[in-house]
Amino acid sequence: MKILKIQTLRGPNYWSIRRNQLVVMRLDLEELADKPSNQIPKFYEGLVQVLPSLEEHYCSPGCRGGFLSRVKEGTMMGHIIEHIALELQTLAGMSVGFGRTRETATPGVYQVVIEYLDEQAGRYAARAAVRLCQSLVNTGNYSPEELEQDLKDLRELRADAALGPSTETIVKEAEARGIPWMPLNARAMIQLGYGVYHKRLQATLSDLSGILAVELACDKEGTKQILRDAGVPVPKGTVIHYLDELEEAIGDVGGYPIVIKPLDGNHGRGITININTWQEAEEAYDAASVASKTRSVIVERYYTGRDHRVLVINGKLVAVAERVPAHVVGDGKSTIAELIEKTNSDPNRGEGHDNVLTNIQLDRTSWQLLEKLGYNLETILPPGEICYLRATANLSTGGIAVDRTDEVHPENIWLFSRVAKIIGLDIAGIDVVTSDISQPLHQTGGVIVEVNAAPGFRMHVSPSQGLPRNVAAPVLDMLFPPGTPTRIPIIAITGTNGKTTTTRLISHIYRQTGKTVGYTTTDGIYINEFLVEKGDTTGPQSAQVILRDPTVEVAVLETARGGLLRSGQAFAQSDVGVVLNVAADHLGIGDIDTTEQLAHLKSVVAETVMPSGYAILNADDPLVSAMAKRVKANIAYFSMNPENELLKKHIRSGGLAAVYENGYLSIMKGDWTFRIEQAVNIPLTMGGKAAFMIANALAASLAAYAQGVSIDDVRKALATFQASVNQTPGRMNLFNLGSYHALIDYAHNPHSYQALGGFVRNWNSGMRIGVVGGPGDRRDEDFVMLGKLAAEIFDRIIIKEDNDTRGRSPGEAAGLITQGIKLEQRNCRYESILDETTAISTALDEAPEGSLVVVLPESISLAISLIEARRQQSSNGYSP
Ligand code: ATP
Ligand code: ATP
Ligand code: MG
Ligand code: MG
């Protein structure tokens, strides 16, 4: 077996609208191509032994053991690999269940599709599944050590890539509210919402966390000062920089017991509490000084009591957790070392902040605590005795959390929210030491030890004891108060031909409303009239540039086949999805071999429109109108034919449509017809001669109208949009060259040739000259077809080739086109001039009076410059 390619999908895709995270592996079964599992000795037995849990896979029989019974009866290796890749991930703690396996047009080559939670892990699982199967085929076995290593690697990949626990809770809540989110590539930030409405978070720092407040919170002494000045109880203390000052400082705070900590520390690093002797104090000073960036050390009175973390969001107390320092509980049999090991074996514990709890690790304070009790690691602890291993209760040093949210005294609630406001933090973690949180601090003598910016959420979301609290909800309520939008309208456009033109036209219509429009096309990414980035930008990454942009109010996204196939759609839902047409193009690429498969792919754009939105479908194209049955949104049809049955039925039942009727482009809804404009007055339609441009204009008008743009604005836009070099470079650019005309167009498949042919035939009666060619990666039959169509349209044909022949030898494509021309048996003159510049120049030089030279260039800019050079009188758009 050989893996030919692994692709990672991250959005709605060909395989599933709902399952966005899929790995697609193209697999050549090679020697196993005609060997189902039952013909491989010991395969079934080996598989059951290595992965007995496959028993749980139902597969097509729909019952426990279903999949294994198919292996026993005989199924293809691709299918087995799919199930194994899913099971490996599940065993590594990433429960996934969606998979598909399909044979491609190439015999023995399969597409194996598997779901993932973490994409690296997904790709790893796909490769590991192939390895495992190959080993079973070769030896009937896969060693337990190897399987264990696979699972370990998978777990590590998951741990490395996962969002932090706080971010994860916020993301989950956002998803539950239907707020879109995406990771940003820098500083572990995430974005919630789209375009002009988006907000950013980095862990629990938000767009609203002020820099002054965050800096103040990071300065423990400054924080205490501000709080003390406001009458809030804080520990009595002082800051020193030299050991010489320590003795006096201890006197100042009223003598032992004291606490020594770094001025700018966190996570309990460098802190010693409950210090009672000079020797301890000296040691503690050194530890704190080393842990401080500025060698500044706080000497504080030690306050006895329990340690609480109070979470205040947007001025409201939302959760309180008591933090209990790392400890073990004796059972009368085990040594302290054994008890620690047992505690750490809890699957909830792990390294760092990524698990619910952190492992207990011993440090200087642990030894001191044990020593005070006269214990060591070999001591057997009496049953029920609690032995603390840390003095401070930070979760990151192995502590646990107990929820106390419902026990807080009302006066404390008032005090804590006031403290957050005094510091100025939108999300504040307040550390409170008091013997009893249900009594006012001033009665218990409790103090506020510090205030944290970016407090962790995990102790509130998954406390070791007590109720978990949804602390993400108030964060989202704050960032997006009820009624505030989170999304900008997304209009996605797909189809075989006309996407770029329609995308530009919709953007132009939206510009009439004064909104800032971000759009992506085959030519580049734009915001209003400004080019953000040049290139073929019709994939998900380009769409994200627009969705991330803080200035964009409307996104109009050309959504092409390539990007959809490569990594899925960039967004889970749109407001409007336009499908213009589906015709043969790019067939044979990416395992899309038929127009039906192509339609299935493009249908993603229609199927992902949100229920309140509109799918705009071409009623004249059966492959497009058939998408209606899978669409969850409203449907609006456009048609060139008022007599179209589907359209008539749709309108009769109150549906929305756009139709070309009696020379007008009109919107229809129920009994009403709203005429937008006559085609002859719409420059894009070339005086009504370019039928396909009328269709594009109908689709664009309908998309905008469905989103609430007024017919007046649509009309204004149609009147000012031209198929010119500026607005649609390379799409129906007509040049008046005095005695003849030249037209540059980008038609590059049979469907667009036919569309163009319709226009050329509508042109005047002069001679029609075509300079034709096509991209080399199309199939042989496509070139032949192209020749045949060219012969139908033109009186004279000059065949040229692209500079980039995409793997074909020079002259090959031209030869195929010539074959096609001959097939048509029409009396037209033809010749091959492979070089594009020479071909175009020849056509222009020899154009007789009254003729039309149609150039279908590889390089639009080259063709434009050649023609511009000869232009005596510009027409800039349509002028007959
Ligand atoms: P974190 O980042 O986890 O909040 P930190 O390194 O910022 O910790 P502090 O919050 O200042 O350190 O102290 C850690 C813990 O030590 C406190 O939560 C509290 O339990 C204890 N502590 C600190 N100062 C005192 C004090 N003056 N009296 C009693 N206990 C204290
Ligand atoms: P690409 O796949 O290259 O991005 P596209 O779908 O974006 O193409 P456009 O760039 O708008 O399409 O148009 C390319 C060519 O397709 C035009 O120059 C024209 O010849 C033809 N075309 C445009 N609209 C249609 C249509 N609705 N039906 C058929 N052909 C069309
Ligand atoms: Mg703290
Ligand atoms: Mg395009």
Virtual torsion, Cα 875, 876, 878, 879, nearest 10 deg: -20
Ligand 1 site, residue 302, Cβ cutoff 6 A:
yes
The sign of the CA dihedral 825, 830, 832, 836 is negative
Closest of 519, 577, 523 to residue 543, by C-alpha: 519
For the chain (880 residues), the mean pLDDT of every run of 10, in chain order, is 96 96 96 91 91 87 87 92 96 94 94 96 97 93 94 92 88 95 90 97 94 94 95 95 94 94 83 90 93 92 94 98 92 92 86 75 86 90 89 82 96 98 97 96 95 94 93 97 96 96 96 97 94 92 96 97 95 97 87 94 98 98 97 98 96 96 95 94 92 97 97 97 83 89 89 91 88 87 91 93 86 92 87 92 92 91 89 51
Closest of 733, 664, 682, 701 to residue 871, by C-alpha: 733
Residue 354, pLDDT score: 63
Which of 598, 623, 696, 746 has most ligand 2 atoms within 8 Å of its beta carbon, as the pocket-test mutant? Answer: 746
Backbone phi, then psi, for 47, in 5-degree steps? -65, -45
Ligand approaching nearest to the C-alpha of 686: 2
Residue 871, pLDDT score: 75
Count of beta carbons in the 10 Å neighbourhood of residue 845: 8
Count of beta carbons in the 10 Å neighbourhood of residue 316: 14
Ligand 1 site, residue 307, Cβ cutoff 6 A:
yes
Q: How far is the CA of 393 from the centre of ligand 3 (A)?
A: 9
Coil vs helix vs strand at 493:
strand
For residue 444, what are its two tokens? 């218990």
Which amino acid, one-letter code, is at 557?
L
In this structure, the residue with its CA closest to atom 20 of ligand 1 is 307
Coil vs helix vs strand at 18:
coil
Model confidence, pTM: 0.89
Q: How far is the CA of 498 from the centre of ligand 4 (A)?
A: 7
CA 621 distance to own-chain centroid? 31
- The residue length of the chain stands at 880
Residue 873, pLDDT score: 44
Residue 351, pLDDT score: 77
By CB atoms closer than 10 A (0-12, 13-18, 19+), residue 104 is middle
What would the DSSP string read from start to end of 177-244? TT--EEE-SSTTEEEES-GGG-EEEETTEETT--HHHHHHHH-HHHHHHHHHHTT-----EEEESSGG
Residue 832, pLDDT score: 92
Residue 310, pLDDT score: 98
In this structure, the residue with its CA closest to atom 14 of ligand 1 is 268
Q: How far is the CA of 757 from the centre of ligand 2 (A)?
A: 13
Closest of 513, 538, 536 to residue 523, by C-alpha: 536
The CA distance from 769 to 747, in Å, is 15
Distances 226 to 25, 193, 219, 806 between C-alpha atoms, Å? 60, 36, 11, 70
Ligand approaching nearest to the C-alpha of 745: 2
Q: In what order do the strands lie in the sheet with 297-301?
A: 237-240, 297-301, 258-262, 272-275
Q: How far is the CA of 757 from the centre of ligand 4 (A)?
A: 20
Instruction: Indicate the helix (H) or strand (E) that contains 417.
Output: helix 410-423
Residue 22, pLDDT score: 98
Residue 703, pLDDT score: 98
The CA distance from 689 to 683, in Å, is 10
Which of 493, 496, 501, 859 has most ligand 2 atoms within 8 Å of its beta carbon, as the pocket-test mutant? Answer: 501
Which of 214, 264, 433 has most ligand 1 atoms within 8 Å of its beta carbon, as the pocket-test mutant? Answer: 433
